[in-house]
Amino acid sequence: MKVKVPKKKRRILTEEEVFQRLIAGDEVGLARALSLIYDENVSSEFLSRVYRYNQEKGSLSKVLGITGAGGVGKSTLISVLAEKLLQSGKRVGVIAVDPSSPKTGGALLGDRIRLQHLFPNPNLFFRSFSSRGMVGGINPFIFDAVSILEAASFDYVIVETLGIGQDEIDIVHMCDITSLVIAPGLGDDVQFLKSGIVEVVDLIVMNKADLPTASRTIGILHSFTRMVESHPDILKVSSYTRMGIDDLIEYLNNKWEEFQKTGELEKRRRFRWKFQVGNWMRYIMGRKIEEFVNEAGPVLEVSPFEIATNTLKEWGCEV
Amino acid sequence: MGDKKVVRVLVGKPGLDGHDRAAKVMARALRDAGFEVIYTGIRQTPAQVAQTAVQEDVDVVVLNNLTGAHLEVFPLVVEELKKRGRDDIYVLATGVIPFEDVGPLKEKGIDEVFGPGTGPIHIINWIKEHVMGESEGA
């Protein structure tokens, strides 16, 4: 017996439909909006509508960044945070960024596994992003994804990125409050000194604090952060035993409200907008430059500097 | 302003089955084929798989089950997708599926069945033909 299966045609929603469903809090609309930003054919008007909408309604989503090295327990910590927030009736949206393969562009996005037990749940949304080959772990698309989650009016928008080095600090420009997650036994004090990220995050979350080696790592951290002028606070938590999780949520809530009162939140969000303009310009120029370089025949007797400056002049850029 | 279309695939393991070697090998092979692959992990309910497919806005869901529960569990995923208004997502069945179960699965909305001995390349080619062929034509 042969059963004929008709070829499926992907149902296309217009930008108008996507926008209306997005702001109505519809899951399909939100998921589609997040795909739309990667779509070659999306109009810049769509994103402008999202920004305008957020500005008019006033976004009260708390945008929380979670970064740190691989294996420190970022995803598990987010699952524990989400669980607690959902219990108190909050709506939570999560964006997790994983690296893509430099060879094929493919990616295996596995952060979701740590939260799967919380599904199905109408108040929890999780979207896995690949970095699509862009350095710093964050590309302009992901900045805009945060704005889309704000338009869907989540109480909390949590962004997870892999970040350890000096180049991977973009997340702090994207979020209202950024936490660096560390775990005991990962690297010595030199690792902290090398990494610029300790200087820019708001909070260091010491995960796996139930392990016996945790106090030693805390000691090293304290001795280092004392040397930084405005050093981040340090909190001890354990996703495994749930130790300190309530304190962490309270800390983040208080910090956000403090930022809102003092105008720090407004300042950060204005900077985020400016930073995102730069993100897009770098991305667009980057593509243009790549196209040029691919076609430029190597003329080994001319200096690359000369070609570069001449070409930029041709493009109308003052060099 | 956008980027090139990248095919997104969900590898889902619905049902009480902890044997995930095949699912992991498949996820890796699909990644190497240039797709963005999301893996649910083991022991998922059909509703969990469907909500994940909706949120991740995937083009294809590849289901895998090695306990013989495919005739019960896989059609439930199709149902859950339909309930959420996303029955336009392709659903593929993989695992130890006897030949005589292929017809019943397809009748219940599974788009293609890849039984024992199917290499990942067959699944990759199917996806390329059905998803990418379609987007090029549109």
Classify the phi-psi angles of A274: left when phi > 0, otherwise alpha if psi is within -120 to 50, otherwise beta: alpha
Q: Which strands form A62-68's sheet, in the order they lie side by side?
A: A124-130, A92-98, A156-162, A62-68, A177-182, A203-206, A233-236
Answer yes or no: is A98 within a domain.
yes
Answer yes or no: is B112 within a domain.
yes
Kindly state whether residues A91 and A143 are assigned to the same domain.
yes
What is the number of domains present in chain B?
1
Task: Give the CATH number for residue A99.
Answer: 3.40.50.300
Answer yes or no: is A112 within a domain.
yes
The domain in which residue B55 lies consists of 8-137
List CB contacts (< 8 A) between A120 and chain B. Answer: 45, 47-48, 50-51
Of B37, B85, B107, the CB nearest to A3: B107
Answer yes or no: is A3 within a domain.
no
DSSP state at residue B99: G
Answer yes or no: is B3 within a domain.
no
Answer yes or no: is B63 within a domain.
yes
Distance CA A215, CA A275 (A): 37
Instruction: Give the per-residue pLDDT at A194.
Output: 60
Answer yes or no: is A5 within a domain.
no
Nearest chain B Cα distance for residue A200, angstroms: 30
Residue with more model confidence, B1 or A192: A192
Q: Which two tokens stand for residue A191?
A: 């690792």
Residue with more model confidence, A280 or B38: B38
What is the number of domains present in chain A?
3
Distance CA A230, CA A241 (A): 31
pLDDT in tens, A127-154: 999 887 765 556 788 889 999 999 999 9
Kindly state whether residues A69 and A128 are assigned to the same domain.
yes
Count of A-B CB contacts under 8 Å: 124
The domain in which residue A301 lies consists of 265-319
Kindly state whether residues A155 and A241 are assigned to the same domain.
yes
Q: Which two tokens stand for residue A277?
A: 């303009």
Q: Phi then psi for A138, rounded to 5 degrees?
A: -120, 130
Interface test with A, best of B13, B49, B52, B55 (most A CBs within 10 A): B55
Task: Determine contact, residues A210/A242, Cβ cutoff 8 Å.
Answer: no
Kindly state whether residues A63 and A173 are assigned to the same domain.
yes
Mean pLDDT of B75-84: 96
- Sorted by sequence, the CB contacts under 8 Å of residue A17 that are 6+ apart come out as A29
Buried b (16+ CB within 10 A) or exposed e, B8-46: bbbbbbbbebeebebbeebbbbbbbbbbbbbbbbbebbb
Kindly state whether residues A51 and A70 are assigned to the same domain.
no
| Residue A202 confidence class, pLDDT cut points 50, 70, 90 | very high
Of A34, A108, A119, the CB nearest to B39: A108
Task: Give the CATH number for residue B27.
Answer: 3.40.50.280
Instruction: Give the per-residue pLDDT at B138.
Output: 36
- Sorted by sequence, the CB contacts under 8 Å of residue B39 that are 6+ apart come out as A108, A109, A110, A112, A113, B10, B11, B23, B24, B27
Answer yes or no: is B98 within a domain.
yes
Instruction: Give the per-residue pLDDT at A195.
Output: 63
Of A35, A280, A284, the CB nearest to B57: A35
Nearest chain A Cα distance for residue B65, angstroms: 17
Q: In whole angstroms, how large is the CA radius of gyration of chain A? A: 22
pLDDT in tens, A253-306: 999 999 999 999 999 999 999 999 998 888 888 888 989 999 888 888 999 999
Answer yes or no: is A4 within a domain.
no
Kindly state whether residues A135 and A31 are assigned to the same domain.
no
Answer yes or no: is B1 within a domain.
no
Distance CA A104, CA A53 (A): 37
Kindly state whether residues A22 and A168 are assigned to the same domain.
no
Distance CA B63, CA A264 (A): 47
Q: In whole angstroms, how large is the CA radius of gyration of chain B? A: 14
Answer yes or no: is A188 within a domain.
yes
Answer yes or no: is A28 within a domain.
yes
DSSP state at residue B65: E
Instruction: Give the per-residue pLDDT at B136.
Output: 40
| Alpha helices (H) in chain A, listed in sequence order | 15-23, 27-36, 44-57, 74-87, 140-151, 171-174, 189-194, 197-200, 214-225, 245-262, 264-295, 304-314
Instruction: Report the percent of chain B where pLDDT is more than 70.
Output: 93
Instruction: Give the per-residue pLDDT at A298.
Output: 85
| Residue A163 confidence class, pLDDT cut points 50, 70, 90 | low
Most confident of the following: A48-52, A188-192, A214-218: A48-52
Mean pLDDT of B93-101: 95
